[in-house]
Chains A and B, each alone.
Chain A
Amino acid sequence: AQKVTQAQTEISVVEKEDVTLDCVYETRDTTYYLFWYKQPPSGELVFLIRRNSFDEQNEISGRYSWNFQKSTSSFNFTITASQVVDSAVYFCALSLRGNAGKSTFGDGTTLTVKP
């Protein structure tokens, strides 16, 4: 069985601070996909990134960056120079080869960015 753990239930930072959201996963499969989603107060989940298990290259997209380390089964997400609009619940998810959509989600981390 697969498992995704987001140990940080809630994080609060002040605007312009950097913040890292942790994600640790468990699976016996060698081929899998990892995802991050953002769920703002409006409620609609927004896809942020997908990474497959064979690609450990870190990725940067604007103020967002992701650090994938298979050795520690982690896929952490960093927001640089946080903004109030980054306030949301962030979910990490894992899917296995053959069904990227049947995902196992973590319980989410609620990020609050204060002005």
Chain B
Amino acid sequence: GAGVSQSPSNKVTEKGKDVELRCDPISGHTALYWYRQSLGQGLEFLIYFQGNSAPDKSGLPSDRFSAERTGGSVSTLTIQRTQQEDSAVYLCASGAGFTDTQYFGPGTRLTVL
């Protein structure tokens, strides 16, 4: 079956522009997570969706970051007024439930010039 997919795979943008990153989770998975991986670093938790519950936004680094999940499926991570320090690989993961194993997508590599 299809795994987690993310688009675009690469995104280059200019400082100050807004970007949207998309995640399509595995069908039927109710849990969806966003992480950020800076060069040579581990993963940093950003935000988590579980079913229809309010998302856990505790990992978002600033109010320039937001995420939505429409219809309990596709999620979009939006970064407004991008800064150079936002450059990283943004990883999405989904799981069958909030206690279940996460399955990761291939990531979106964001470069802010």
Real complex partners, A and B? yes
Interface residues, chain A, CB within 8 Å of chain B? 4, 33, 35, 37, 42-47, 50, 91, 93, 97-108
Point out the residue from B45, B91, B103 that lies within 8 Å of A47, measured CB to CB. Answer: B103
Please tell me the number of chain B residues within 8 Å of chain A, measured between CB atoms. 26
Is B45 in contact with A103, judged by CB distance below 8 angstroms?
yes
B16-52 CB contacts (< 8 Å) to partner A:
31, 33, 35, 40-45, 48
Choose among B40, B43, B101, B107 the residue with the greatest number of A CB atoms under 10 Å from its CB. Answer: B43
Nearest-neighbour CB distance to chain A for B89, whole angstroms, equals 7
Residues of chain A with a CB closer than 8 A to B105's CB = 44
Given contacts A45-B91, A105-B42, contact A99 B98 (CB under 8 A): yes
Per-residue A-contact encoding for B83-113, CB less than 8 Å = 1, 0 else: 0000001010101001111111111000000
Given contacts A45-B104, A47-B101, A50-B101, contact A101 B42 (CB under 8 A): no
How many pairs of residues, A versus B, come closer than 8 Å at their CB atoms?
Answer: 65
Chain A minimum-CB-distance residue to B56: A102
Residues of chain B with a CB closer than 8 A to A102's CB = 33, 45, 48, 56, 59
Residues of chain A with a CB closer than 8 A to B40's CB = 107
Q: What's the Cα separation between A115 and B67 when bound, in Å?
A: 44
Is B104 in contact with A91, judged by CB distance below 8 angstroms?
no
| Known interface pairs A91-B42, A104-B45; 8 further A-B residue pairs with C-beta atoms within 8 A, sorted by A's residue number | A37-B104, A42-B106, A44-B106, A47-B102, A100-B101, A102-B33, A107-B41, A108-B41
Please report whether the interface of chain A is mostly helix, strand, loop or mixed according to DSSP: strand
Is B107 in contact with A108, judged by CB distance below 8 angstroms?
no
Is A103 in contact with B43, judged by CB distance below 8 angstroms?
yes
Q: What's the Cα separation between A107 and B100 when bound, in Å?
A: 22
Nearest-neighbour CB distance to chain A for B28, whole angstroms, equals 15
Is B98 in contact with A43, judged by CB distance below 8 angstroms?
no
